[in-house]
């Protein structure tokens, strides 16, 4: 490999302002399936903050350059140079000037799905993070903000719909041809990663929204022909998002139109291009027959997320890609809050924390760990991670916990006010909260810089004589890649002291102050907090609402946890208490399996879950969460090393059987009480009833008894919506080998023309925890419904196998690891971004038992040895293998 083909790492500390700025961009795009011509006119000037006398260096990737002119005069060949990744104008006049550049690209050959590509015949673009350079030469960095005008021209027959950012200006026929054009203008300066255009044969649903100040916004959602009926829920979610952002954050929409386009081929979930969001169709299209309650909730959350970027991301963007959490973590926080307000706040918190622990905690504990704001990267695509997104959102949530509702809002208001139109940094963001509240956040800022999950060890001591209760807190932060030593963090620890009657006791600290809003500030390696006037022995309910993203261990007994599971006023901790009991049981049972000891008794968990099931005051959706045990990877993470996935699986199955047997009447009762009462509706209350009924069915069938399986078969047969039908199918596929094939075949026959439903069918089969699964998955890669070219298909089949089937991915014979490594290599030549994400499934390989660890390492080394790896896969594999 030539030396310069190995990309050099980019460092935050090397940031320099751009030498040249771009004020306006005029694009003239002539769409053609294999030779699309792009004429770009850039009005540029030297940046007063840049280096004087600099050449103009533009980024480019896989472009064919047709012409380049400066102020109307073609540049001589000696006046510029191109390399694989750049075009440099060597000695430009140091004044405002215009560059005209003509490039040609082949959208049909663009399998990376970055830049301009085709999806089901339509033309679309994806530019974040560095895709605009695959359309034209440009300073493709987020701190170069320009006003864009886009003219698109195409065959009217092929692309009757032509869309770009901003407001529509003009459209019409191209005289004397079968072509037509449309012109769009976006008045808001933006970075190139927010550019988008779409051309194709698409159907539209229309609506409108009147903003708080009375401006009318035309709303459009574009989908593949014939699918408009499935876009209604997304439109409704969009309007609710627009209203919510006005009410909660004072953010009003700022263009005359807002369009969303759903495409079938998309690397990610969705993209916030200014005024023209482009979505993976799985996060737009929904009908009761084809989408589950979880799909509806995802659509609502992602529509909101991309819409919310209009302020957090677009009006205020990022100075450089190290600041990615500035838009993503903040916007995830905002979409979480939106969903909490639309649905049940406690249930939303529970599912968000499950996601955080399930994805971010393992990332932070393995070779791919990095700070919320990384300080170096080799491939930015690999940093759209659970750490930047989910932990980034937790850091914003902690700010709110520390400053309170009003202090937080004051900080956000100042941020919008001070930085509108800027490309900002994390420091800018924090300064707004510090200034608005008169506080010092310099130590809090460590949350952005130090990687790894902090550990809090807490013990409580009640002194009956002195009527005091003392909490001793020890904090540690483990070493992570590149960070052997750590400083203490500022950790907001929300808590309650629960009295024997189940009510919270008043909390007065030793110094006479009240623990403000129930939050202790942990700042030291070791710290004690003494509460006074504590007349009875309390049970400490710690880290309420998961106020800090830490791993907390305590000296609470199993009885204390059962007590909290029944009485804690904080719903999250009520849930978490039972999960803690279950997790401890599973860790012990796994060890017992491996050493042939007797399994521990599940009595405490039976008691806690039995009480939850029979508590009529609880939200069904909450009970459903309580009934769902920690996952196999949750147990693996808790065990942390020498992990044997088969032993974990067996222990978990045994526990599910035991719960099933012990709780059968209660589960049957809840199942029957929550039978559907009318037609399917996707609202949270109806979804909660289905979730509980389905959780009961799942546990009943886990017993493997004839009545349990009969119930699952009936549920499958009688279902009138995808939520129930698919849950029943999963129960059968996992627990009833004899009924499995027939049910899978019936499901496929019914939905074979519906790729998004076929995805569910693929994903389910990939997750079966049986030795036959690998052969099944291999076979399915040859199924007519599968394609390596579509990211949704690949993620459903191969991604589910690698990420959601611990026993079969980590087969003792190494065949699971080999299969995924082969898939990564197969995919890398076509779509490196998707390939790299698949490879990240190896992120916890070092915690496996020695045999499996060796096979994972062999598979990784085989990937690493392949010549010509993409930077995406090369980066993941080399960090994965770096010595711990
Ligand atoms: N800006 C991202 C989309 C994106 C991600 C572009 C990675 C380029 C590379 C978008 O706002 C986003 O975050 N999408 C998420 C879904 C969201 C709800 C967390 C996604 O695509 O997964
Ligand atoms: Zn985002």
Of all protein residues, whose CA lies closest to atom 20 belonging to ligand 1?
Answer: 269
Q: Please give the average per-residue pLDDT across 340-352, as a whole number.
A: 98
Looking at ligand 1, which atom is closest to the CA of residue 268?
21
pLDDT score, position 668 = 97
Which residue has the CA at smallest separation from atom 8 of ligand 1? Answer: 128
Residue located nearest, by CA, to atom 16 of ligand 1 = 269
β partners of residue 251: none
CA–CA distances in Å: residue 37 to residues 33, 76, 151, 169: 10, 21, 12, 21
Please give the average per-residue pLDDT across 78-95, as a whole number.
98
**Percent of the chain topping pLDDT 90:** 98
Element spanning 624, H or E: helix 620-627
For the CA of 389, the nearest atom of ligand 1: 19
Three state DSSP letters for 722-773: HHHHHHHHHHHHHHCHHHHHHHHHHHHHHHCCCHHHHHHHHHHHHCCCCCCH
- pLDDT exceeds cutoff 90 at 6: no
426-457 pLDDT tens trace: 999 999 999 999 999 999 999 999 999 999 99
DSSP calls for 388-403? IIIIHHHHHHHHHHHH
Q: Is the CB of residue 769 less than 8 Å from the CB of residue 649?
A: yes
In this predicted structure, the answer to whether residue 1 has a pLDDT above a threshold of 50 is: no
Query: How far, in Å, CA of 336 to CA of 328, rounded?
Result: 12
Q: Which residues, 6 or more positions from 871, have their beta carbon under 8 angstroms from its beta carbon? A: 7, 378, 379, 832
Q: At residue 19, does pLDDT exceed 70?
A: yes
Q: Which one of the ligands is nearest to 128 CA?
A: 1
pLDDT of residue 573: 98
Write out the catalytic residue numbers.
Answer: 306
Alpha carbon of 322 to ligand 2 centroid (Å): 15
The mean pLDDT value for 41-62 works out to 98
Pick the closest to residue 198 from 168, 233, 239, 241 (CA basis). 168
| pLDDT of amino acid 8 | 86
- The pick from 190, 238, 271, 303 for probing ligand 1's pocket by mutation, whose C-beta has the most ligand atoms within 8 angstroms, reads 271
Return the ligand number nearest the Cα of 381: 1
DSSP-derived letter for residue 798 is: I
Give residue ranges with CB within 6 A of ligand 1.
128-129, 268-272, 301-302, 305-306, 309, 328, 332, 384, 389
Distance 197 CA to ligand 2 centre (A): 19
Atom of ligand 1 nearest to the CA of 328: 13
- Residue 270 Cα to ligand 1 middle (Å): 5
Distance, in Å, from the CA atom of 319 to the CA atom of 102, rounded to the nearest integer, reads: 28
Question: Starting at the edge strand that comes first in sequence, how are the strands of the sheet with 539-542 ordered?
Answer: 519-522, 491-498, 539-542
Atom of ligand 1 at shortest distance to CA of 306?
Answer: 11
Which of 516, 305, 294 is CA-nearest to residue 393?
305
Show Cβ contacts of residue 867 under 8 Å, excluding neighbours closer than 6 positions.
Answer: 1
Q: Report how far residue 423's alpha carbon sits from residue 392's, in angstroms, rounded to the nearest whole number.
A: 18
715 closest CA partner among 739, 738, 685: 739
Residue 88's CB is within 10 A of a number of other CB atoms, namely 17
pLDDT tens across 781-825, in order? 999 999 999 999 999 999 999 999 999 999 999 999 999 999 999
pLDDT at 2 over 70: no
* Most informative mutation of 276, 306, 840 for ligand 1 (most atoms within 8 A of CB): 306
Which ligand neighbours the alpha carbon of 130 most closely?
1
**pTM value?**
0.99
381 burial (CB, 10 Å; 0-12 / 13-18 / 19+) is buried
- State the Cα–Cα distance between residues 158 and 122, nearest whole angstrom: 8
CA of 134 to the centre of ligand 2 (A): 21
- Cα of 269 vs centre of ligand 1, distance in Å, is 6
Residue 700 has pLDDT above 70, yes or no: yes
Cross-strand partners of 100: 41, 69
Which residue is closest in CA terms to ligand 1's atom 18?
A: 302
Please provide the DSSP assignment of 669-725 as one string: HHHHHT---SS---SHHHHHHHHHHHHHHHHHHHT--HHHHHHHHHHHHH--SHHHH
Residues contacting residue 82 through CB under 8 Å, at least 6 positions apart: 60, 65, 88
Q: State the Cα–Cα distance between residues 196 and 204, nearest whole angstrom.
A: 18
CB 60 within 8 A of CB 137: yes
- The Å distance, Cα 832 to ligand 1 centre, comes to 17
Ligand nearest to the CA of 272: 1
Q: What is the average pLDDT across 122-135?
A: 99
- Candidates 267, 268, 832: which one to mutate for ligand 1, based on the most atoms within 8 Å of Cβ? 268
The predicted pLDDT at position 698 comes to 98
Q: Which ligand is nearest to the CA of 269?
A: 1
Whole-number pLDDT of residue 514: 76
For 416, the enclosing helix (H) or strand (E) is helix 392-419
Q: What is the atom index within ligand 1 of the atom nearest the CA of 833?
A: 9
Q: How far is the centre of ligand 2, averaged over its atoms, from the C-alpha of 861 (Å)?
A: 33
From the CA of 129, give the closest atom in ligand 1. 8
What distance in angstroms lies between residue 385's CA and the mean position of ligand 1's atoms? 10
The answer to whether the beta carbons of residues 734 and 745 sit under 8 Å apart is: no
- Compute the distance between CA of residue 443 and CA of residue 771 in angstroms, rounded to an integer: 50
User: Whole-angstrom Cα distance, residue 395 to residue 403?
Assistant: 12
Closest CA to 609 of 577, 648, 569: 577
Q: Which of 134, 269, 348 to mutate to test the pocket of ligand 1 (most atoms within 8 A of CB)?
A: 269
| Residue of the CA atom closest to atom 3 of ligand 1 | 271
What are the C-alpha distances in Å from 612 to residues 169, 353, 545, 628, 774?
59, 20, 18, 12, 38
pLDDT of 611 over the 80 cut: yes
Q: Which atom of ligand 1 is nearest to the CA of 384?
A: 7
Is the Cβ–Cβ distance between 196 and 147 less than 8 Å? no
pLDDT recorded at residue 5: 47
Percent helix, strand and coil across the chain, each to the nearest 5: 45, 20, 30
Task: Answer positive or negative: Cα dihedral of 70, 76, 79, 83.
Answer: positive
Listed as own residue / partner, the contacts of 599-604 with beta carbons closer than 8 Å and 24 or more positions apart are 599/651, 599/654, 602/655, 602/658, 602/659, 602/662, 604/558, 604/559, 604/561, 604/562
How does residue 4 score in pLDDT terms, banded at 50, 70 and 90? very low
Mean pLDDT calculated for residue range 492-501: 98
Nearest-angstrom CA–CA distance, 629 and 599: 17
**What's the chain's average pLDDT?**
97
Closest C-alpha among 848, 883, 849, 767 to residue 362: 848
Q: How far is the CA of 306 from the centre of ligand 2 (A)?
A: 6
- Shortest-distance Cα residue to atom 17 of ligand 1: 302
What is the rounded distance in angstroms from the CA atom of residue 411 to the CA atom of residue 402?
Answer: 12
DSSP letter for 415, please: H
Residue located nearest, by CA, to atom 7 of ligand 1: 384
């Amino acid at each position: 490999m030539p030396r310069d083909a190995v990309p050099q790492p980019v460092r935050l500390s090397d940031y320099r302002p751009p030498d040249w700025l771009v004020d306006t961009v005029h694009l003239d795009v002539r769409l053609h399936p294999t030779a699309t011509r792009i004429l770009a006119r850039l009005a540029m000037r030297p940046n007063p903050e840049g280096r004087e006398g600099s050449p103009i260096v533009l980024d480019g990737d896989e472009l064919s350059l047709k012409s380049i002119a400066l102020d109307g005069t073609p540049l001589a060949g000696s006046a510029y140079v191109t390399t694989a990744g750049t075009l440099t104008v060597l000695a430009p006049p140091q004044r405002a000037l215009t560059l005209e550049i003509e490039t040609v690209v082949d959208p049909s050959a663009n399998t990376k799905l970055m830049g301009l590509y085709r999806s089901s015949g339509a033309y679309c673009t994806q530019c974040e993070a560095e895709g605009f350079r695959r359309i034209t030469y440009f300073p493709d960095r987020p701190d170069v903000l320009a006003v864009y005008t886009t003219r698109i021209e195409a065959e009217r027959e092929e692309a009757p719909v032509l869309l770009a950012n901003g407001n529509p200006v003009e459209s019409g026929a191209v005289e004397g041809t079968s072509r037509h054009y449309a012109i769009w203008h976006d008045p808001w300066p933006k970075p190139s990663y927010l550019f988008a255009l779409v051309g194709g044969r698409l159907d539209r649903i229309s609506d409108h929204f009147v903003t708080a100040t009375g401006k009318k916004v035309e709303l459009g959602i574009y989908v593949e022909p014939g699918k408009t009926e499935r876009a209604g829920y997304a439109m409704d979610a969009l309007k609710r998002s627009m209203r919510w952002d006005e009410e909660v954050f004072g953010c009003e929409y700022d263009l005359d139109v807002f369009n969303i386009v759903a495409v079938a081929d998309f690397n990610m979930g969705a993209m916030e291009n200014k005024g023209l969001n482009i979505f993976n169709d799985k996060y737009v299209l929904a009908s009761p027959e084809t989408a589950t309650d979880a799909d509806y909730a995802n659509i609502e959350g992602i529509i909101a997320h991309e819409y919310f970027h209009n302020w957090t991301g677009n009006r205020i963007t990022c100075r450089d890609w190290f600041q990615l959490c500035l838009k993503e973590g903040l916007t995830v926080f905002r979409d979480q809050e939106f969903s909490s307000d639309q649905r049940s706040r406690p249930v939303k918190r529970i599912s968000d924390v499950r996601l955080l622990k399930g994805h971010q905690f393992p990332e932070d504990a393995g070779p791919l760990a990095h700070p919320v704001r990384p300080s170096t990267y080799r491939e930015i695509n690999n940093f759209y991670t659970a750490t930047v997104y989910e932990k980034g959102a937790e850091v914003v949530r902690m700010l709110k916990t520390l400053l309170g509702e009003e202090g937080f809002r004051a900080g956000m208001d100042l941020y919008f006010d001070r930085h509108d139109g800027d490309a900002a940094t994390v420091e800018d963001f924090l300064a707004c909260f510090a200034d608005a509240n008169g506080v010092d956040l310099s130590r809090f800022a460590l949350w952005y810089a130090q990687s790894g999950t902090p550990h809090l060890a807490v013990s409580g001591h009640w002194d009956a004589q002195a009527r005091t209760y003392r909490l001793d807190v020890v904090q540690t932060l483990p070493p992570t890649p590149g960070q052997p030593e750590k400083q203490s963090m500022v950790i907001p620890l929300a808590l309650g002291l629960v009295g024997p009657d189940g009510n919270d006791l008043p909390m007065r600290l030793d110094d006479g102050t009240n623990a403000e809003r129930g939050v202790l500030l942990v700042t030291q390696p070791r710290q004690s907090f003494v509460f006074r006037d504590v007349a009875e022995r309390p049970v400490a309910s710690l880290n309420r609402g998961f106020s800090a993203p830490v791993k907390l261990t305590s000296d609470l007994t199993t009885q204390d946890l059962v007590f909290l599971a029944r009485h804690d006023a904080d719903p999250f901790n009520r849930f978490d208490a039972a999960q803690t009991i279950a997790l401890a049981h599973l860790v012990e049972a796994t060890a017992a399996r491996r050493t042939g000891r007797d399994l521990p008794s599940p009595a405490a968990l039976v008691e806690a879950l039995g009480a939850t099931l029979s508590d009529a005051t609880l939200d069904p959706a909450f009970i459903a969460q309580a009934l769902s045990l920690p996952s196999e990877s949750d147990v693996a993470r808790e065990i942390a090393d020498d992990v044997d996935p088969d032993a974990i699986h067996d222990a978990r199955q045994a526990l599910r059987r035991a719960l099933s047997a012990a709780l059968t009447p209660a589960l049957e009762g809840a199942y029957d009480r929550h039978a559907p009462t009318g037609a399917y509706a996707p609202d949270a209350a109806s979804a909660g009833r289905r979730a509980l009924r389905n959780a009961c069915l799942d546990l009943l069938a886990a017993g493997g008894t004839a009545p349990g399986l009969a119930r699952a078969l009936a549920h499958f047969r009688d279902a009138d919506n995808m939520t129930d039908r698919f849950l029943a199918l999963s129960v059968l596929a996992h627990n009833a080998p004899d009924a499995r094939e027939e049910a899978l075949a019936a499901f496929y026959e019914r939905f074979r023309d519906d790729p998004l439903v076929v995805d569910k069918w693929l994903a389910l089969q990939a997750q079966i925890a049986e030795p036959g699964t690998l052969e099944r998955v291999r076979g399915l890669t040859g199924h007519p419904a599968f394609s390596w070219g579509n990211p949704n298909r690949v993620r459903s089949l191969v991604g589910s196998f690698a990420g959601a089937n611990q026993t079969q991915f980590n087969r003792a014979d190494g065949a699971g690891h080999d299969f995924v490594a082969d898939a990564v290599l197969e995919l890398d030549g076509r779509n490196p971004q998707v390939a790299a994400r698949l490879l990240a499934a190896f992120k916890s390989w070092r915690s496996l038992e020695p045999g499996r660890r060796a096979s994972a390492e062999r598979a990784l080394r085989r990937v690493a040895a392949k010549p010509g790896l993409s930077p995406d896969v090369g980066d993941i594999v080399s960090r994965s293998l770096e010595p711990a």
